[in-house]
Amino acid sequence: MIHLKPVSRRIVYVVSFEFFAIIFSSVILAGMSNGEVSASLFVAAALSLIAIVWNYIYNTLFELWENKNNIKKRSFIIRLVHSIIFESGFILIAVPLFMWWYRVSFLQAFIMEIGVLLFFLIYTFIFTLIFDKTFSRAIEGY
């Protein structure tokens, strides 16, 4: 297990999470829009940039909450709630972005967002599980 200070741990988490997220979501968006991966790269990168800021803030607050409540391990339920709360914020951002970029209706953009959301619920859960097994979480020093 790799030990990092809390700020370094969050930076490594965000950068590695978003790197893979851009790749995966570009492919998924291209498939849903019947377009090229390169055309979906802008949307994926824009959402990633927004996610980097949100991810840092959200995980900082989430880990503070864990420490305050003396939670030493993330249970299945905590991981599930963590993923759902995080991803729900993107519905309000992604739908208008999809409508603008892909020139689709609200309903089409919403369906695209649900597809991306379902992917990210699974991706976030699996990525965080692997990350937590690789990088220990410091309990003190916040």
pLDDT of residue 77: 93
> Under 8 Å CB-to-CB from 119, ≥6 apart: which residues?
24, 25, 28
pLDDT 10s digits, 10-30? 899 989 998 999 999 999 999
Which pLDDT does position 1 carry in this prediction? 86
The structural domains of the chain, with segments of one domain joined by +, span 2-136
Judge if pTM exceeds 0.95: no
Report the pLDDT value the prediction gives residue 142, as an integer from 0 to 100. Answer: 44
Convert the pLDDT of each residue in 83-99 to its tens digit. 888 877 778 888 999 99
Write out the chain in H/E/C secondary structure. CEECCHHHHHHHHHHHHHHHHHHHHHHHHHHHHCCCHHHHHHHHHHHHHHHHHHHHHHHHHHHHHHHHCCCCCCCHHHHHHHHHHHHHHHHHHHHHHHHHHHCCCHHHHHHHHHHHHHHHHHHHHHHHHHHHHHEECCCCCC
Residue-averaged pLDDT of the chain: 89
Yes or no: say if 30 and 37 are a contact pair by the CB < 8 Å rule.
yes
